[in-house]
Amino acid sequence: DRYGDKKAESILGNCGIKLCLNAANRTTATYFKDLLDKTTVKVDTESESKQYGKENRTSSMSENESFAARDLMTAGEIMQMPADIGIILFQHKPPIQVKKAFQFQLFPGVTEKYEVSQFDYHAKPSAEQLQKLTLAQQAFEEDIAKKAVAKQTEQEQLEKDFFGFEVVEQEVTFESALEELNGDLNISGSEPNK
């Protein structure tokens, strides 16, 4: 997780416009469902009752109308949106559902008519940018030089500290280590010298 929940919440909270083009997972769909909030829907109900007796038959019918709260879109509905539908949420305004504008459909053949390569662009840095680059290069080179001097000083100090020490190579086997340990602890089975 690159930002963590708190930083991500802070970043999203500072976005005035949020765009949902497709929610590929339930977490994202639930996030947008919660942002869309609730709406009020009218619920019509009908009921009919019939009663049969010996001599007569009665029936009654009733219609009822009520209002209930419902998610504007459920997480499932958001995940199942068609590929060409999106949702835009504005700060302080109601959300809207939009049809995506695919540029290749709006302007067919434009890339063939006006072929442009990324190599056609030539950057022209300003004097201020060039000065910043020069200062950054100088600072980098000075840092490298300081590190080289520090490394050389450390190497010289190590050589000075260990000058005259003799390196002794010795093969140690389990048996020789055990003998040395027994000798140090005096566990040879004999009486210690008095």
What pLDDT, in 10s, does the model give residues 5-58? 888 888 888 899 999 988 889 999 999 999 998 888 888 888 888 777 777 777
Domain that holds residue 172: 125-187
134 and 177, same domain (yes or no): yes
98 and 153, same domain (yes or no): no
Residue 137 lies in a domain: yes
**What token pair was written down for 36?**
């869309």
Q: What is the pLDDT of residue 194?
A: 47
12 and 33, same domain (yes or no): yes
Q: Contact, 50 vs 42, CB < 8 A?
A: no
Quick one: what percent of the chain has pLDDT higher than 90?
36
83 and 30, same domain (yes or no): yes
Residue 48 lies in a domain: no
Contacts 24+ apart (CB under 8 A), 11-18: 16/90, 16/91, 17/88, 17/89, 17/90, 17/91, 18/88, 18/89
Q: Phi and psi of 108, rounded to 5°?
A: -65, 140
Report the domain count for the chain: 2
SS3 49: strand
Q: Is the pTM of this model over 0.75?
A: no
Quick one: what percent of the chain has pLDDT higher than 70?
90
Residue 59 lies in a domain: no
29 and 97, same domain (yes or no): yes
Low-confidence ranges of the chain (pLDDT < 50): 194
Q: Contact, 50 vs 71, CB < 8 A?
A: no
105 and 25, same domain (yes or no): yes
Residue 154 lies in a domain: yes
18: nearest Cα among 109, 93, 130: 93
110 and 145, same domain (yes or no): no
91 and 167, same domain (yes or no): no
Residue 54 lies in a domain: no
Q: What is the pLDDT of residue 166?
A: 66
28 and 106, same domain (yes or no): yes
